[in-house]
């Protein structure tokens, strides 16, 4: 974009902005001698699109950033869609909360004020809160919707805007598209009325979230126990909220479940939007749990639990044979699913249980469910799909017991219609306690699962393509794989291809009649099933300029063989497949 055009866009934005801080931010950038040396072109290269994850982006001025102007127009559109499509939305209320990130409080108050001005009653949390508590409140209060200001596990410079609908799950099509259309009709941000919160309180349109919500949430989490009170619960636990908002509620939930030996990592216990001890507050990232693991080693703790900054994800490590072993999201998901399904048999004559996982999560969950007679389905990537499908399954008469995705997201029952790192943490601690009473650890249990159903190893390979041409390159990569799919990968025959964009699975071993339609919505995802039972899934990321390849390998445990030996073979196969597929995809 030429400097003159860029300057005109920035000046027009400043004229329509409602925030003096972001206006000044743009003035400072426009004062630079060389506009090309600034990030102005990226700020005005497009705008943050409102989709099924709401909004998420880097904080700053401009349409391609998270700021008060973007939040104001999004909320104006949300209010219009709520009033148009949700019966009684104004009186049913909207729950609004946020985490402790930079600008989260300001954005939350703007959202509450704009909704209230539109005639919608609002329940606003008075302090930063975990995302699961907001989701719980939407369901508990029977609200018309909920808004959470959070960027979850993203780096410190990000913030976001997530919407729950009247079923207490994240929005999915066509709701997201209707909200986006309403946002397009929104006036300039400076013309959107944002009244003082005190005025809305006086008019009865704004109330503070009642403290009893936390009590109700903790009670609901307590009722999720599979083996309440059982096992040795006196062991040491190290917990970290990674500078987020989970510490108080997570520690209370653990204490009420009988786990009194919980120690928080002191450097990470209190909310801090700068995240000073981590570069990327995602529990999956290497090194993020170093402080927690060091404290566990120092204190002899048997379990490490870590939430991300808004406490909707969970990572865990357990002491096994003298060392701490951290689990992947797939491993922890399988352990939780297996524990729920085997330790708590369904009542005779009760509804059939249902288990859900995303299409990029380990196939082991489906194998276990099939063997135990449990209904199992895979959904598209993203917990919005798991939660909405769970609601549908319950309407169909199923008992939804658990859902997970490989990115450390877990949903136990229907307490929260989203991933919940706090309830999952309590159930993981319970698993450890019950197994300790039997002389076993979670590692022993994972080995036992492997001996019965096969040892699975998984890996994710990311390919980043930044810049203006990045998205084009990634799409070209996907198009090439569709046009000429591989017939063999690392010597392993491709026996089936699932194209989620075309909504079909094709059995390549059948010359005729090999295509089976899919019930899932269309998505730009390809899955390659191999003769060995391994699988590779390729998809573009929805939030990053990246293509992601998910590789899953299964190895049977031979008679008399130790499960770790089979796991080592599986991990070696994963590495071979990863290298071969990268070559096929030309990355």
**Catalytic residue numbers, as ranges:** 152
CB atoms within 10 A of CB 552: 25
Tell me, rounded to whole angstroms, the distance of Cα 475 from its chain centroid.
24
Backbone phi, then psi, for 393, in 5-degree steps?
A: -65, -40
**Eight-state DSSP code of residue 545:** S
Q: What is the dihedral of CA 253, 257, 260, 264, to 10 degrees?
A: -30
> Which of 432, 384, 413 has the alpha carbon at shortest distance from 227?
432
Render the burial of 362-373: b for 16+ CB within 10 Å, e for the rest. bbbbbbbbeebe
CB atoms within 10 A of CB 350: 9
Tell me, rounded to whole angstroms, the distance of Cα 8 from its chain centroid.
38
Q: Tokens 């005639």 sit at which residue?
A: 119
Assign residue 60 a region: left if phi > 0, alpha if psi is -120 to 50, beta otherwise?
left
Round to the nearest angstrom and report the end-to-end CA distance of the chain.
29
| Strand, coil or helix: 261 | coil
> Which of 304, 303, 306 has the alpha carbon at shortest distance from 315?
306
CB atoms within 10 A of CB 12: 12
CB 416 within 8 A of CB 135: yes
E strand or H helix at 303: strand 303-307
How far, in Å, CA of 52 to CA of 388, rounded? Answer: 12
The neighbouring-strand residues paired with 377 are 356
Backbone phi, then psi, for 190, in 5-degree steps?
A: -65, -15
How far, in Å, CA of 66 to CA of 56, rounded? Answer: 7
Q: Tokens 């919160």 sit at which residue?
A: 197
Q: Which residues contact 276 (CB under 8 A, 6 or more apart)?
A: 243, 267
Q: Tokens 């960027």 sit at which residue?
A: 151
How far, in Å, CA of 428 to CA of 256, rounded? Answer: 14
Q: Where are the alpha helices (DSSP H) in 274-353?
A: 290-299, 329-343
How far, in Å, CA of 471 to CA of 510, rounded? Answer: 35
Q: Tokens 């699913």 sit at which residue?
A: 337
Q: What is the DSSP string of 331-364?
A: HHHHHHHHHHHHHSPPPTT-PPEEEEEETTS-TH
């Amino acid at each position: 974009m030429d400097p003159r055009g860029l300057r005109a866009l920035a000046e027009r934005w400043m004229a329509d902005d409602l925030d003096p801080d972001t206006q000044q931010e743009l003035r400072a950038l426009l004062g630079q001698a060389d506009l090309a040396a600034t990030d102005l072109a990226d700020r005005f290269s497009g705008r943050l699109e409102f989709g099924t994850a709401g909004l998420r982006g880097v904080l700053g001025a401009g349409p391609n950033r998270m700021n008060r102007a973007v939040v104001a127009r999004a909320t104006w559109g949300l209010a219009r869609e709520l009033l148009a499509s949700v019966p009684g939305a104004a009186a049913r209320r909207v729950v609004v909360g946020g985490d402790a990130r930079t600008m989260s409080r300001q954005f939350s108050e703007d959202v509450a004020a704009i909704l209230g001005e539109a005639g919608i009653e609002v329940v606003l949390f008075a302090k930063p809160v975990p995302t699961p508590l907001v989701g719980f409140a939407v369901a508990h209060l029977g609200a018309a919707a909920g808004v959470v200001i959070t960027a979850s596990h993203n780096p410190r410079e990000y913030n976001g805007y997530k919407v729950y609908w009247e079923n207490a799950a994240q929005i999915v099509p066509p709701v997201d598209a209707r909200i986006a259309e309403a946002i397009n009709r929104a006036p300039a941000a400076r013309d959107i009325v944002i009244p003082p919160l005190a005025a809305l309180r006086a008019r009865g349109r704004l109330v503070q979230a009642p403290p009893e919500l936390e009590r109700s949430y903790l009670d609901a989490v307590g009722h999720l126990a599979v083996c309440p009170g059982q096992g040795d619960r006196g062991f040491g636990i190290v917990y970290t909220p990674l500078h987020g908002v989970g510490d108080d509620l997570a520690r209370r939930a653990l204490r009420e479940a009988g786990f009194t030996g919980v120690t928080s990592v002191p450097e990470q216990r209190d909310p801090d939007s700068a995240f000073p001890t981590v570069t990327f507050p995602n529990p999956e990232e290497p090194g993020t749990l170093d402080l927690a693991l060091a404290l566990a080693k120092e204190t002899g703790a048997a379990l490490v639990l870590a939430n991300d900054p808004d406490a909707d994800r969970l990572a865990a490590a357990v002491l096994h044979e003298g060392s701490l072993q951290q689990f992947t999201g797939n491993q922890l998901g399988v352990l939780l699913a297996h524990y729920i399904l085997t330790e708590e048999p369904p009542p005779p004559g009760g509804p059939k249980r249902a288990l859900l996982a995303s299409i990029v999560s380990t196939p082991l969950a489906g194998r276990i469910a099939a063997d135990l007679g449990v209904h199992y389905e895979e959904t598209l990537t993203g917990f919005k799909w798991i939660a909405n499908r769970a609601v549908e399954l319950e309407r169909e008469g199923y008992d939804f017991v658990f859902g997970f995705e490989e990115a450390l997201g877990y949903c136990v029952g229907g307490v929260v219609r989203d991933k919940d790192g706090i309830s999952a943490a309590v159930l993981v601690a319970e698993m450890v306690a019950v197994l300790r009473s039997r002389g076993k650890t979670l590692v022993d249990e994972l080995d036992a699962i492997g001996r019965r159903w096969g040892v699975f190893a998984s890996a994710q390979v990311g390919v980043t393509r930044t810049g203006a041409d990045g998205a084009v390159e990634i799409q070209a990569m996907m198009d090439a794989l569709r046009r000429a799919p591989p017939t063999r990968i690392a010597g392993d025959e491709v026996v089936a291809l699932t194209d989620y964009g075309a909504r079909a699975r094709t059995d390549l071993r059948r010359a005729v009649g090999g295509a089976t339609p899919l019930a899932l919505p269309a998505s730009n995802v390809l899955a390659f099933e191999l003769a060995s039972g391994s699988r590779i899934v390729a998809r573009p990321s929805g939030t990053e300029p990246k293509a992601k390849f998910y590789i899953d390998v299964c190895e049977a445990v031979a008679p008399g063989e130790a499960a770790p030996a089979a796991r080592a073979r599986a991990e070696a196969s994963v590495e071979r497949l990863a290298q071969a597929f990268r070559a096929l995809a030309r990355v």
